[in-house]
Amino acid sequence: MHGKLRIRQRDLMNQDVVGRALFSVTGVVLLASGLPLLFAADVVAAWLNLPGAAGELAVQLIASGLLGLGAVNFWSRGQFVGGIYGRPLGLGNLLCFLSAWASLGRAVGAGVLPPSMWVAVVLSAVLTLAFAWRLFFWRPDGRVGRVSGT
């Protein structure tokens, strides 16, 4: 029985193409977003109208968070988004993209950021909804419904 359960879990993980893609895509997006913020912090700070060393420091701190979460996502791409090990990582991603969606959406809507940032707002919204679906409604056995314990 225990051997069959182990094989079934492995089969489910191999079949979870969407979850693997979600962690892979978010890993690449976060890493690609963080690298310019880290290495061109002065340019990004000036573009965001944050002059001086304090602006550069703020941009580099944002870069460190994006790079850290991106690396963890990319190396965890074989995990379920839910489950024992993937639930904390999925929740971290959900909160990251939810706050990005709300903050960027508000700033772009108020005219603080340029309209081209709507791309980041829409991407954050899509990733927020994807992680929410995977954490709270998706089940590895194919059934749909609220997952217990959430």
* pLDDT tens profile 82-100: 667 778 888 999 999 999 9
Query: What pLDDT, on the 0 to 100 scale, is given for residue 50?
Result: 83
pLDDT mean over 4-24:
66
Give the per-residue pLDDT at 80: 73
Helix (H, G, I), strand (E, B) or coil at 106: helix
In a domain, 149, yes or no: no
Distances (CA, A) of 40 to 31, 57, 62, 108, 150: 14, 11, 12, 22, 40
Q: 102-148: per-residue pLDDT in tens?
A: 999 999 999 988 898 899 999 999 999 999 998 888 766 665 555 55
Asked, for residue 147, whether it belongs to a domain, the answer is no
Share the mean pLDDT of the chain.
84
Which domain, by its residues, includes 70?
2-136
CA gap 127, 30 in Å, rounded:
11
Residue 98 resides in a domain: yes
Quote the pLDDT of residue 47: 85
As given in the structure block, the two tokens for residue 141 are 């056995």
Residue 79 is assigned to a structural domain of this protein: yes
Residue 150 domain-assigned (yes or no)? no
Asked if the model's pLDDT at residue 70 lies above 70, the reply is yes
Kindly state the percentage of the chain with pLDDT values over 90.
52
Tell me, yes or no, whether 71 lies in a domain: yes
Domain presence at residue 11: yes
For the CA atoms of the chain, what is the radius of gyration? 18
Number of domains composing the chain: 1
Is residue 116, in this structure, part of any structural domain at all?
yes
